[in-house]
Amino acid sequence: MACLLKDQHEQWKRNQDKPSRSVKVFRCQLPRYNSFYSSEPPKNNGKDKPSSDGAVLCGWCGTWRGDKVCGSCRRVHYCSEKHQAVHWKSGHKRRCLPSSISQDASEPSNNRTLSGVQEVASNGLWPEYEIAITDECEDKVSDDNGQVNLLISSSRVDESIEALMDSFGGEDDKKSWASFQERISRTPEQVLRYYRDAVAKPLWPTSSGQPSKADIPKCNYCCGQRTFEFQVLPQILYYFGVENDAQSLDWATIAVYTCESSCDGNVAYKEEFAWVQIASQSSTTQR
């Protein structure tokens, strides 16, 4: 939680050449005509497949392209020398064998399993899930007993909401939080809200700690305007098994702003801007 508090302090600083942020978001996009996917939209009939295999990713983090390879076994790829060194110290040293010797079954060749899903060595990554995209419901989703389906028990929800309401310093925050909860309750399991509309705005849980237009920096690559695209809700932490205590990672919402024109260029991963709002703003909004 300390990293988010520090991040909040940093995001209020404007016009930084090298901002020190712990919450970062990157945009990676392909042109319509590319080597991996069809130029036509998917038919969603279960037969949509990439045109070719994707890039081999780092054997430690599994998130970046592994353009470096272990010099001994020639089988495990890395995105950086740092991740290669960490993997070596954490156990690859004991399992690394020259490429002429049969490989340990615990480290599949090219960092991939037989099923095509990459395994990574780091245990600091959250699990991957498929996100189902649906339109927002107008009414609350109820089960056969007429009760709203929740991710966690109603008693735990009541306790958490009551604690948050007590932490808010003003009536505006309490009203915003109540409105936020009512809107989210229509689909309690949602973890992300996507808009991509020029006039769209985030669904803010609290009235304090919201950015002004001047707080959103311009695109680092084309100097164009950034617009709001999607927000990450705290419900996602439940799926990641994050504990519900005072010191655990938590946020009210994370709003992501991206280049309005989705500018292209020679940079594979373009850094965009994330605005973090936590539940209590009283001690973190001082500029």
The residues near 174 (Cβ < 8 Å, ≥ 6 apart) are 165, 168
Return the sign of the alpha-carbon dihedral for residues 269, 274, 278, 281: positive
Q: Chain-centre distance of CA 164, in angstroms?
A: 23
Over the Cα atoms of the chain, what is R_g? 22
The model's confidence at residue 115, banded by pLDDT at 50, 70 and 90, is: very low
Q: Are β-strands 68-69 and 26-27 bridged in parallel, bridged antiparallel, or unpaired?
A: unpaired
Residue 274: pLDDT band (50, 70, 90) is very high
How large is the average pLDDT for residues 118-147? 64
pLDDT at 111: 44
Q: With a cut of 60, say whether residue 113 has pLDDT above it.
A: no
Predicted confidence at residue 195, as pLDDT, reads 86
162 vs 102, more confident: 162
> Phi and psi dihedrals of 246, rounded to 5?
-65, -30
Neighbour count for residue 105 (Cβ, 10 Å): 7
Q: What pLDDT score was predicted for residue 188?
A: 85
Q: 10 in helix, strand or coil?
A: helix
DSSP element (H, E) containing 163: helix 154-167
End-to-end CA distance of the chain: 20
CA 68/CA 79 separation, integer angstroms: 6
How many residues in the chain? Answer: 287
Residue 287 pLDDT? 36
pLDDT in the model for residue 233? 93
Starting from the edge strand earliest in sequence, which strands make up the sheet with 253-259, in order? 192-194, 226-232, 253-259, 273-277
Beta strands in 158-205, from DSSP E residues, in sequence order: 192-194
> Tell me, what's the pLDDT at 40?
83
pLDDT, tens digit, 9 for 90 and up, residues 216-248: 999 989 999 999 999 999 888 888 888 777 777
CA separation for the pair 14, 19 (Å, rounded): 9
pLDDT tens-digit series, residues 250-272: 888 999 999 999 888 778 889 99
Residues 6+ apart with CB under 8 A from 67: 77, 79
The reported pLDDT for the residue numbered 199 is 83
Mean per-residue pLDDT for 65-93? 89
The pLDDT tens digits for 82-91 are 999 999 988 8
Q: Which residues pair with 232 in a beta bridge?
A: 192, 254
11-60: per-residue pLDDT in tens?
A: 767 666 666 777 889 998 887 887 777 788 877 787 777 666 667 888 88
Cα separation, 179 vs 243, whole angstroms: 25
- The answer to whether residues 11 and 273 touch, using CB atoms and an 8 Å cutoff, is no
Q: Give the start-to-end residue ranges of the domains of the chain.
A: 1-32+158-277, 54-99
Higher pLDDT, 231 or 75: 231
pLDDT-derived band of residue 118, with 50, 70 and 90 as boundaries? low
Mean pLDDT is highest, among 28-37, 100-109, 142-151, 209-218, for 209-218
Averaged pLDDT of the chain:
75
Q: Give per-residue burial for 143-160: e unless 16+ CB within 10 Å, then b.
A: eeeeeeeeeeeeeebeee
Contact 58, 86 (CB under 8 A): no
pLDDT at 56: 83
pTM: 0.67
What does the pLDDT read at residue 230?
Answer: 95
